[in-house]
Amino acid sequence: MARVLFDHVTKRFGEFTALRDFNLEIADKEFLVLVGPSGCGKSTALRMLAGLEDITEGSIFIEERRVNGVPAKDRDIAMVFQSYALYPHMTVYDNIAFGLRLRRMPKDEMDPKVKEAASILGVDTLLDRKPGQLSGGQRQRVAVARAIVREPKVFLLDEPLSNLDAKLRVHTRAEISKLHQRLGTTFVYVTHDQVEAMTMADRIAVMNEGIIQQVGSPQKLYDEPVNVFVAGFIGSPSMNFFEAEVVENGEGVRLEGEGFVVDVPDDRADDVRGFLGRRMVFGVRPENIHDKDYVPAGITAAPTAVKVDVTEPMGNEVFLHLMAGDTKLLARVDPRTAMRAGDRVEVVIDMERMHIFDPETKESALS
């Protein structure tokens, strides 16, 4: 039962506040990802949980125990560092066994544990090597093996994939997910990469400037971001934002942006009627802007005239950088598109999936 609770935690380094009134409950066996840009306080939160930083205000609980002031070694946690932090003068075996030796575990009990952890991570053939003789991927696996061998209550990972190349990263993502299922332990995972967060997390906590912006399942964050920051951070490429005035005439509700106009579908009209005559910030994801000739079935919105600035073919899709009047939009469209840079064309903006934000508070204006 390794529940983790951050209760009104604040961390200050001198004048600088790294973490402000941080509240987060992590359920037992949950895979929670802390994600945000660098300097957002996510690593500070993790290091406070690990016992590597003092807590300025508030409390942290592991299970029902308040761990403020409890030394790292007595918290029954394990951590995988970004740099892996393998002891360069010890063999792989000794690296994995180090923590068990410190607990004076008898050799006949320790040996099978070390070998099991090594074989789970597929490094059982490397036990006699030193870290310097391993590849980046192998080192990362040894670091994970070292962490799991102690069977900790909570498992902390600080950007464990950031030193791997792109292909290995995708592979290792799946491996870590599998490991989580197998171990059934609470995982707290820190990353700046929203793709890692989306693919692995049970729940994600998005952070910015020392404050939690939103906590929820990956799909929830994608579908219902609570503010402009989360909306822009989750999803790749990022959501398009534009300011537009909400106008109603005889035909229905429409949005008048900088040099372009887009209709609001009837079933979303009620969402915006409350803002009639006001300028709001609207968000549309690139995947909700379609080439007029390849609109998926069921989308019936009227086309909008745009100019194509740049096209970026990705093979399975094409990114179009568009100018709708003075507004820049990025569209992610069907690869069969015939649109080329410089063309004046029409695209379909699926306003069915639009997001609305208050221009002052940047908070979501959807109830």
Partner 1 sequence: MAKQVIALSKRERLLRAVSRGPLHVAIIAICLMWMVPSTGLFVSSFRPKDAIATTGWWTAFSTASEFTLANYQQVLTAQGMAQSFMNSLIIALPATLLTVAVAAFAAYAFAWMDLPGGEIIFLVVVGLLVVPIQLTLIPVLRMFASAGLTGTFPAVWLAHTAYGLPFAVFLLRNFFIALPKDLLESAFLEGAGHMRVFFRIVMPLSVPSLAALFIFQFLWLWNDLLVALVYLGGFRNVAPMTVTISNLVSSFGSEWHLLTSAAFISMMLPLVVFFALQRYFVQGILAGAVKG
Partner 2 sequence: MRTRLVTAAWLWVLPAFVLLGVFLVYPVVNTVYLSFFSGRDMSTFVGLDNYVYLVTHPETITVFRNNLLWLVLFTATTVALGLLLAVLSNQVRYEALAKAIIFIPMAVSFTAAAVIWRFMYIFRPPQFEQTGVVNAAFTALGFDPIPWITNPSVNNYALIAAGIWMWTGFALVVISAGLKGISAEVLEAARVDGANEIQIFWHVILPMLRSVLVVVAVTLIINSLKVFDLVYVMTFGNFATDVLANRMFKEMFTFGNFGRASAVAVVLLLAIVPMMLSNVRRFRRE
Binds partner 2 by CB under 8 A, chosen from 1, 15, 71, 277? 71
**Which residue's CB is nearer to partner 2, number 67 or number 126?**
67
Q: Does 52 bind partner 2 (CB under 8 A)?
A: yes
Measured CA to CA, the distance from residue 318 to residue 315 in angstroms comes to 7
Stretch that binds partner 2, among 65-73, 88-96, 277-285, 335-343 (CB under 8 A): 65-73
Angle between helices 166-183 and 136-148 (to 10 degrees): 10
102 contacts partner 2 (rule: CB under 8 A): no
Residues 6+ apart with CB under 8 A from 181: none
Residue 103 lies near partner 1 (rule: CB under 8 A): yes
Spatial CA neighbour of 355 closest among 163, 214, 160? 214
Q: Which of 8, 89, 182, 344 binds partner 1 (CB under 8 A)?
A: 89
Q: How far is the CB of 45 from partner 2 (least distance, A)?
A: 16
Residue 77, contacted partner among partner 1, partner 2, none, CB below 5-8 A by kind: partner 1
Closest CA to 254 of 230, 232, 286, 276: 276
Which residue, 102 or 174, is less far from partner 1 as judged by CB? 102
Q: Looking only at residues 148 through 167 of this chain, which bind partner 1 when binding is defined by CB under 8 A?
A: 150
Site for partner 1 in 170-209 (CB under 8 A): none
CB 318 within 8 A of CB 311: yes
Using rule CB under 8 A, residue 71 touches partner 1: yes
Tell me the chain's radius of gyration from C-alpha atoms.
25
51 binds partner 2 (CB under 8 A): yes
**What region, left, alpha or beta, does residue 43 occupy, with left being phi > 0 and alpha being psi -120 to 50 degrees?**
alpha
Question: Does the footprint of partner 1 cover residue 133 (CB under 8 A)?
Answer: no
Do 350 and 303 form a contact (C-beta atoms < 8 A)?
A: no
Q: Is 69 in the site for partner 2 (CB under 8 A)?
A: yes
Does residue 26 belong to the site contacting partner 1 (CB under 8 A)? no
User: In the set 28, 37, 61, 81, which binds partner 1 (CB under 8 A)?
Assistant: 81
Q: Which stretch binds partner 2 (CB under 8 A): 3-11, 47-55, 97-105, 203-211?
A: 47-55
Length in residues, the chain: 367
Q: How far apart are CA 175 and CA 177, in angstroms?
A: 5
Q: Which does 69 bind (CB under 5 to 8 A by kind): partner 2, partner 1, none?
A: partner 2
Using an 8 Å Cβ cutoff, are 268 and 254 in contact? no
- Ramachandran category for residue 330: left, alpha or beta (phi over 0 → left; psi -120 to 50 → alpha): beta
Give the shortest CB-201-to-partner 1 separation in angstroms: 23
> Whole-number minimum distance, CB 99 to partner 1, in Å?
3
Q: Of 12, 54, 217, 340, which lies in the binding site for partner 2, with binding defined by CB under 8 A?
A: 54
Kindly tell me which of 18 and 356 has the beta carbon lying closer to partner 2.
18
50: amino acid identity, one letter: A
Considering only residues 5, 72, 105, 261, which one is a binding residue for partner 2 as defined by CB under 8 A? 72
Calculate ∠ Cα 91-95-99, nearest 5°: 150
Q: Could you tell which of partner 1, partner 2, none binds residue 89, using a CB distance below 5 to 8 A set by kind? A: partner 1
Give me 247's structure tokens.
């106008």
- Piece of 65-73, 202-210, 277-285, 312-320 that binds partner 1 (CB under 8 A): 65-73
Q: Which is nearer to partner 2, 74 or 312 (CB)?
A: 74
Q: Match 């534009």 to its residue by tokens.
A: 242
Number of Cβ within a 10 Å radius of residue 359: 12
Task: Give backbone dihedrals phi and psi of 141, rounded to 5 degrees, phi first.
Answer: -65, -40
For 316, phi then psi, to 5°, come to -85, -10
Residues contributing to the site for partner 2 (CB under 8 A): 51-52, 54, 69-72
Residues contributing to the site for partner 1 (CB under 8 A): 50-52, 71-74, 77-79, 81-89, 98-99, 102-103, 146, 150
